[in-house]
Amino acid sequence: MKPHRLCMTHHLRPHKAYPVELAQFHSADYVEFLHRITPDTQHLFSNELARYNLGEDCPVFENLFEFCQIYAGGTIDAARRLNNQLCDIAINWAGGLHHAKKCEASGFCYINDLVLGILELLKYHARVLYIDIDVHHGDGVEEAFYFTD
């Protein structure tokens, strides 16, 4: 029995996910808004903040979009490494933001990296088993795949 090859994103620098990658699940207008919004300009976008659910549970902070790009990129990279058999187990300690919806942030989650990772895995695998061990329900992931087989 061969030992498992483990990939952890703190050993590998993830790529910053491109807006087009984020839009594999999220709406392009939501991704574009996350790219534009900053703490200094958020007062100009009260309608959009409400539409995309940014504010109390999902505050706007400096480098928000870059944060999203890095943690989403880590999960996408992990899935690609698994798909290409470069490792047997991949962990992104910064990932797991399972509440984000297609068109809105939710529960401190802005981009749903898990959905993006699952979509990447589905390019090579017929089915993916998603087990969420968080104390909170992964409603964003459920919503993304609820009407698929």
Report if residue 17 sits inside a domain. Answer: yes
Predicted local distance difference test score (pLDDT) of residue 149: 66
Q: Is the pLDDT of residue 6 over 60?
A: yes
Residue 39 lies in a domain: yes
In total, how many domains does the chain have? Answer: 1
**Residue 136 forms part of a structural domain:** yes
Q: Is residue 149 in some structural domain?
A: no
On whether residue 7 sits in a domain, the answer given is no
CATH of residue 62's domain is 3.40.800.20
Whether residue 5 lies inside any domain: the answer is no
Average pLDDT over residues 2-28: 83
Q: Give the C-alpha separation, 140 to 96, whole Å.
A: 11
- Per the structure, the complete domain to which residue 97 belongs is given by 13-144
Higher pLDDT, 104 or 3: 104
Just list the catalytic residues: 99
pTM: 0.92
Instruction: Please report the pLDDT score of residue 11 as a whole number.
Output: 72
Q: What is the pLDDT of residues 127-143, one digit of tens each?
A: 999 999 988 899 999 99
Residue 44 lies in a domain: yes
